[in-house]
């Protein structure tokens, strides 16, 4: 379960709103998976996929608008995550295994979501807010020095 205290706060309020919405969906998914609710799990997985796809598209639009230097890296991470989520949904459709969903949420989805928001999204928000120079020097996610 993701708590509000765990959720990284980035420099763009609309991004925080989106992250909070997604967190609430993830927490609901974890609850119904633990309850072995095989009817609610696919509904929430669908809701999560739609929300995540729209969320990533919004971020990618923002990145393109400002020619964000690490757009490709950030987008490929979005694509990889969406592909994985679709694979998990397909697996659930075939096996109706709520324990696999619990394991995915706890072992992968939750840590990935928190880490992504704390690194790539934090860097994007700083870039949008303050410009490239500040973002590059202030963000722990940027270690290459080429952004
Ligand atoms: Fe992102």
Print the domain residue range for 65. 13-138
pLDDT at 53: 98
56 CA → ligand 1 middle, Å: 6
Q: Read off the pLDDT of residues 100-113 as tens digits, 9 standing for 90 and up.
A: 999 999 999 999 99
CA of 93 to the centre of ligand 1 (A): 27
pTM of the entire structure?
0.88
The CATH number assigned to the domain holding 110 equals: 1.20.120.50
Separation of CA 81 and ligand 1 centre (Å): 10
Q: Examine residue 143 and state whether it is found in any structural domain, yes or no.
A: no
In a domain, 3, yes or no: no
pLDDT digits 0-9 by tens, 112-121? 999 999 999 9
Question: Does residue 22 sit within a domain?
Answer: yes
Q: Is residue 144 part of a domain?
A: no
Question: Is pLDDT at 56 greater than 90 in this prediction?
Answer: yes
Distance 55 CA to ligand 1 centre (A): 8
- Contact, 54 vs 48, CB < 8 A? no
- 1 within a domain of the structure (yes/no): no
Answer yes or no: is 32 within a domain.
Answer: yes
36 Cα to the center of ligand 1, angstroms? 30
Range 29-32, long-range pairs (CB < 8 A, 24+ positions)? 29/101, 29/105, 30/1, 30/102, 30/105, 30/106, 30/110, 31/1, 32/98
Instruction: Give the Å distances, CA to CA, from 67 to 76, 119, 147.
Output: 16, 18, 11
In a domain, 4, yes or no: no
Residue 139: φ, ψ to 5°: -105, 130
Which residues make Cβ contacts (< 8 Å) with residue 11, sequence separation at least 6?
A: 122, 125, 126, 128, 129, 130
**Structural domains of the chain, count:** 1
Alpha carbon of 111 to ligand 1 centroid (Å): 14
pLDDT confidence band for 130 (50 / 70 / 90): confident
Q: How far is the CA of 45 from the centre of ligand 1 (A)?
A: 19
Q: How far is the CA of 120 from the centre of ligand 1 (A)?
A: 6
140 CA to centre of ligand 1 in angstroms: 15
Is residue 132 in a domain? yes
């Amino acid at each position: 379960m993701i708590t509000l205290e765990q959720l990284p706060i980035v420099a763009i309020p609309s991004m925080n709103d989106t992250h909070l919405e997604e967190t609430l969906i993830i927490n609901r998914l974890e609850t119904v998976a633990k309850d072995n609710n095989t009817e609610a799990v696919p509904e929430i997985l669908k809701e999560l996929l739609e929300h995540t796809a729209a969320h990533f598209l919004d971020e990618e639009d923002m990145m393109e608008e400002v020619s964000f230097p690490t757009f490709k890296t950030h987008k490929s991470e979005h694509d990889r995550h969406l592909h994985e989520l679709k694979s998990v949904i397909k697996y659930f459709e075939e096996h109706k295994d709520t324990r696999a969903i619990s394991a995915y949420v706890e072992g992968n989805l939750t840590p990935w979501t928190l880490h992504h928001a704390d690194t790539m999204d934090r860097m994007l928000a700083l870039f949008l807010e303050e410009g490239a120079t500040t973002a590059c020097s202030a963000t722990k996610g940027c270690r290459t020095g080429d952004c």
